[in-house]
Amino acid sequence: MITPQRFFEIVPQNLNMDIRSELYYTNEFNFAVAVILSAQATDKKVNEVTPALFRIAPTPQKMLELGLDGVKEHIRVISFFNNKAKNIIALSEKLSKYENSEKWAFPTKYHSRAELIKLPGIGQKTANVITNVLWNAPNIGVDTHVYRLSHRYGWVDDSANTPDKVESELLKKIPKKYHDIVNHVMVLFGRYTCTALRPKCNTCPLFKYCNFKHD
């Protein structure tokens, strides 16, 4: 059986990659923008457009100067780009009163999920990822990989049928010392090894403990 303890003891050292977000970003503002863009889009796709966008518009002020049409032009290949562009402009309007530097950072009042979700375009999942990646907050962003693996390994039962319910179960079951890496490790493991279809069981470090494995 794959227990949370066993998973987090074994998987991080076997990932062979940095345990961090794969999204490209250069400061805290554009990390938030990248997370907004990544909803229902792959990190890879987002990373195709963000280097050019962030070169021109690294701060809320510069994003406003680029304008709605300019943002749309840069992110046109990303799903739901119209709505996402509107959200990015609304977020920029809200944050434009703060510093205007390439090292843009959120004022500390936004270092909490409760404050972040008051900002345009930032829902619970986005806020979880932002607080977790930028400030190591023990929130667990439950995306498709975290959701699937939690069910696959039996860490949550069928009644955990929303990301919020899965997150609250995981916070109880996964030892606290791992909370700040849960999202990264599960996303990377779910993306490259324990994939939805044809998981790579023959090279999996959890093979001998797994009840779900395929040949």
Catalytic (active-site) positions: 125, 143
Minimum Å gap between C-beta 191 and ligand SF4 is 12
207 contacts ligand SF4 (rule: CB under 6 A): yes
200 contacts ligand SF4 (rule: CB under 6 A): yes
206 contacts ligand SF4 (rule: CB under 6 A): yes
Residue 192: phi and psi, rounded to 5, are -110, -20
11 contacts ligand SF4 (rule: CB under 6 A): no
171 contacts ligand SF4 (rule: CB under 6 A): no
Handedness of CA 116, 117, 119, 125 (dihedral sign): positive
| Complex with ligand SF4: residue 68 or 210, whichever CB lies closer | 210
| Complex with ligand SF4: residue 156 or 204, whichever CB lies closer | 204
Residue 143: both structure tokens together: 């995306």
Coil, strand, or helix at residue 134? helix
Minimum Å gap between C-beta 133 and ligand SF4 is 24
Residue type, 110: Y
Segment contacting ligand SF4 by CB under 6 A, of 25-33, 40-48, 93-101, 201-209 = 201-209
201 contacts ligand SF4 (rule: CB under 6 A): yes
192 contacts ligand SF4 (rule: CB under 6 A): no
Residue owning tokens 């062979």: 16
| Complex with ligand SF4: residue 130 or 204, whichever CB lies closer | 204
Tally the C-alpha atoms within 13 A of residue 111's C-alpha that lie toward its C-beta: 9
193 contacts ligand SF4 (rule: CB under 6 A): yes
Tally the C-alpha atoms within 13 A of residue 13's C-alpha that lie toward its C-beta: 4
| Complex with ligand SF4: residue 60 or 199, whichever CB lies closer | 199
141 contacts ligand SF4 (rule: CB under 6 A): no
Residue type, 188: L
127 contacts ligand SF4 (rule: CB under 6 A): no
Give start and end residues of each alpha helix (H) in the chain: 4-14, 28-37, 43-56, 60-75, 81-95, 113-116, 124-135, 144-152, 163-173, 182-192
6 contacts ligand SF4 (rule: CB under 6 A): no
| Complex with ligand SF4: residue 165 or 213, whichever CB lies closer | 213
Longest dimension (CA), the chain: 57
41: nearest Cα among 80, 10, 4, 5 = 80
Q: CB burial class (10 A; 0-12, 13-18, 19+) of residue 103?
A: exposed
Note the residues at the interface with ligand SF4 (CB under 6 A).
193-194, 199-201, 204, 206-207, 210, 212-213
